[in-house]
Amino acid sequence: MPEPMFPVFEEVEFEIEKEVWNVYELDDKSTIKMRCILVKLLTSSVPTTVPPATGVPPGAKGFEFQSVFQNIVTVIRSPPELMGKPTAQLTPQEIEKLEKIEVGYTPYLEDWNVYRLPDGTKLKIKLVVSAIYRIPKQYDPFGYPIYFVNSTNAIIPVPKARH
């Protein structure tokens, strides 16, 4: 029987070893914290060739991961002049259409989440911020300004022998 031409994915159970809040100081004097939560993890049942830059021997076979995340963003402090009367909660699609003001940021605390797979492999996952925007005249239920964050989640498998 020929091998499938496309990967078939299977769900992988995992245990949370560590999930962290990353904290960012914004140039507008607000402070936000963010958490990346791994919700679902799938792996391909078809081995793929591992890229040479990973330090794994040439020709080694690895497995592709697909994942689903939920990223949470919350404001923990903001100067009084940026606060306002709470506004109606907006959908991500509505926020996309609104004016945005890019705000510089400095990571105050960033760390990796760590998840343990049944075979002993660990996955390190890090939320990586690329830009933060404040949405003018939009406020959460506590009167804090609403921020929109562009980010991605980096995933690094750590083989059993390395931890």
**Over the stretch 16-32, which tens digit does the pLDDT of each residue have?**
999 999 999 999 999 99
**Over the stretch 79-133, which tens digit does the pLDDT of each residue have?**
999 999 999 998 888 988 999 999 999 999 999 999 999 888 899 999 999 999 9
Instruction: Note the pTM of the prediction, 2 decimals.
Output: 0.79
C-alpha to C-alpha distance for 51 and 37, rounded to whole angstroms: 27
Q: What percent of the chain has pLDDT over 90?
A: 64
